[in-house]
Amino acid sequence: MKPEFTLGPSPTERLNRARADLRMGVPVVLDGYGLAVAIESLSPERLAALGALGPLTLVLTARRAQTLKARVYDEDIARIAVPKDADLGWLRALADPADDLRVPMKGPLQAERGGDPGFARAAIRLAKSAQLLPAALIVALPHSAPPDLTTITVQDALQAADIPQAFGPVSAARVPLRAAEAGRLHIFRPDDGSEEHYAIEIGQPDRSKPVLARLHSACFTGDVLGSLKCDCGPQLDAALTRMGHEGAGVLLYLNQEGRGIGLANKMRAYSLQDQGFDTVEANHRLGFEDDERDFRIGAALLKKLGFGAVRLLTNNPAKVAMLQANGIDVTERVPLKVGMSRHNAGYLATKAAKSGHIL
Ligand SMILES: Nc1nc2c(ncn2[C@@H]2O[C@H](COP(=O)(O)OP(=O)(O)OP(=O)(O)O)[C@@H](O)[C@H]2O)c(=O)[nH]1
Ligand SMILES: [Zn+2]
């Protein structure tokens, strides 16, 4: 390996830099193609500077484009030509569905087709993985990129989710819990320094037998605030209590807030739900899929902790299937039905009808 590569960032480390740049509103260079910025963090000054480089293209997901009645020529994404006189307000209204019902007609939108959609697709992937609204502005670069911008390849951006992450356990300590006094919290950090995930080990589970386990996705509103809009808080408590009663178990607390779209986008989804859309429709209007979580992280962490087989506390068959597909034997699905209320009856019914959850 060349010394400059050993000292400099690897492709995955560059990707993490690119995410931070997009969150700040700084353009990222897609090598050999051009510049990409996220609409959510774009400033008027940067928009003007990008416009001076050449014709701009707005990239949306196919989900968002369908809501806007724009043509989708590239399967999962749509490329929209940005008119010369378009301002930031125009771009934001297309990216953010907050005002869709108040201002329904945003067109006519001219969709671009042909050529290589890889550049546009990479920009959307980056915005999504930065937990911003999935909408990006791209511009081709005729010459070399300005100095000091993070450069990544389209291929690396497209494969970002598939690059296996190595997780180092960082630290662990005893934490006696209300639900179980014999608690131990382990902190895991991916090698690229991205989001940390936690494991709460109850007792001293026997690694040679299937362990009572839960993959819990972070829900600030439910877990911390006691929101009645979902069942997450009571599920977290019930899972730990059950592990306490059995004397052994492991709960992975995965920082995949809002089924992977982040808390800011989840609140956007909640606003749409107040306008009458259900949890799945709200995700789609924002431009996301129903569920953007990567459950492979859970499988990797279980293996790291020495577990190969689990009795999984969940109502979600997709979690069982993902663990099985990633080398963890699920010997039993243990239902976890708690926390139903009049506020979340519709939410739970939608998950059963559209996402395969078992009510
Ligand atoms: N995008 C979005 N995320 C939500 C919403 N309500 C809860 N969440 C998130 O959904 C995740 C919990 O997922 P659930 O679908 O409730 O449950 P599950 O983890 O798939 O399945 P179980 O194991 O049965 O609980 C957490 O990350 C919550 O933050 C919502 O309306 N929209
Ligand atoms: Zn929740």
Q: How far is the CA of 319 from the centre of ligand 1 (A)?
A: 12
Residue 293 has pLDDT above 90, yes or no: yes
Residue 319 Cβ < 6 Å to ligand 1: yes
Tell the residue nearest (CA) to atom 1 of ligand 1. 258
Quick one: 152 and 235 in the same domain?
no
Radius of gyration of the chain (CA): 22
Query: Could you tell me the pLDDT band of residue 4, with boundaries at 50, 70 and 90?
Result: low
Residue 237, pLDDT score: 97
Over the stretch 152-167, which tens digit does the pLDDT of each residue have? 999 999 987 777 778 8
pLDDT score at 308 = 98
232 CB under 6 A from ligand 1?
Answer: yes
Three-state SS for 272? helix
In a domain, 312, yes or no: yes
Tell me if 263 is assigned to some domain. no
> Is there a binding annotation on residue 319?
yes
Among 159, 192, 210, give the residue marking a domain's end.
Answer: 159
Return the residue matching tokens 């939608």: 350
Question: Sign of the C-alpha dihedral, residues 208, 213, 218, 224?
Answer: negative
Whether residue 214 is annotated as binding a ligand: the answer is yes
Instruction: Give the active site residue among 17, 19, 64, 293.
Output: 293
The pLDDT value recorded for residue 103 is 81
Ligand with an atom nearest the CA of residue 233: 2
DSSP strand pairing (249-254 vs 211-217): parallel
Q: 257 CA to middle of ligand 1, Å?
A: 8
Q: Does the residue 154 lie in any domain? A: yes
Q: Do residues 213 and 302 both lie within one domain?
A: yes
Average pLDDT over residues 128-139: 97
Q: Which ligand is nearest to the CA of 228?
A: 2
**pLDDT reported for residue 5:** 60
Q: Residue 277: inside a domain, yes or no?
A: no
pLDDT tens digit string along 91-118? 999 999 999 988 877 778 999 999 999 9
Asked if residue 258 belongs to a known ligand binding site, the reply is yes
Q: Are residues 31 and 96 in the same domain?
A: yes
User: Which residues are near ligand 2, the ion (C-beta closer than 5 Å)?
Assistant: 219, 222, 230, 232
Q: Are residues 251 and 340 in the same domain?
A: yes
Q: What is the pLDDT of residue 245?
A: 97
Domain-embedded: residue 273: no
Whether the CB of 50 sits within 6 Å of ligand 1: no
**Number of domains the chain is built from:** 2
Q: Whose CA is nearest to atom 25 of ligand 1?
A: 314
Q: Residues 179, 69: one domain?
A: no
Catalytic site includes residue 294: no
Q: Is 108 found in the same domain as 247?
A: no
Please report the pLDDT score of residue 40 as a whole number. 98
Asked if the structure places residue 99 within a domain, the reply is yes
State pTM to two decimals.
0.95
Q: What span, in angstroms and rounded, lies between the C-alpha atoms of 199 and 308?
A: 15
Spatial separation of the C-alpha atoms in residues 118 and 193, rounded to whole Å: 26
Among candidate residues 106, 126, 159, the one where a domain is terminated:
159
- What is the rounded distance in angstroms from the CA atom of residue 88 to the CA atom of residue 102? 18
Rounded Cα gap, residues 279 and 290, in angstroms: 8
Domain that residue 194 falls in: 167-256+293-355
Active-site option among 76, 268, 291, 311: 291
Q: CATH number of the domain at 107, please.
A: 3.90.870.10
Q: What CATH number is associated with residue 322?
A: 3.40.50.10990
Say if residue 218 carries a ligand binding annotation.
Answer: yes
Residue 116 sits in the same domain as residue 231: no
pLDDT at 145: 75
Express each pLDDT in 321-344 by its tens digit.
Answer: 999 999 999 999 999 999 998 999
95/179 same-domain check = no
CA of 233 to the centre of ligand 2 (A): 7
Q: Is 4 within a domain?
A: no
Same domain, 244 and 306: yes
Of 95, 130, 159, the last residue of a domain is 159
Indicate which residue's Cα is closest to atom 3 of ligand 1: 258
Task: Give the closest residue (by CA) to ligand 1 atom 2.
Answer: 258
User: In the predicted model, is pLDDT for residue 15 greater than 80?
Assistant: yes
Respond yes or no: is residue 290 known to be catalytic. no
Choosing from 219, 227, 291 the residue with most ligand 1 atoms within 8 A of its CB, the one to mutate for a pocket test is 219
**Which H or E run contains 282?**
helix 279-286
Query: What is the DSSP secondary-structure string of 27-42?
Result: -EEETTTEEEEEGGG-
**Separation between Cα atoms, residue 248 and residue 210, nearest integer Å:** 11
Assigned domain for 265 exists: no
> Binding site annotation covers 227?
no
pLDDT digits (tens, 9 = 90+) for 35-83: 999 999 999 999 999 999 999 999 999 999 999 999 999 999 999 999 9
**139 with 174, same domain?**
no
Q: Are residues 177 and 34 in the same domain?
A: no
Tell me, in angstroms, the distance from the centre of ligand 2 to residue 84's CA. 43
Instruction: Give percent above pLDDT 70 in the chain.
Output: 99
Residues 139 and 191 in one domain: no
Q: Is the CB of 314 under 6 A from ligand 1?
A: yes
288-294 average pLDDT score: 95
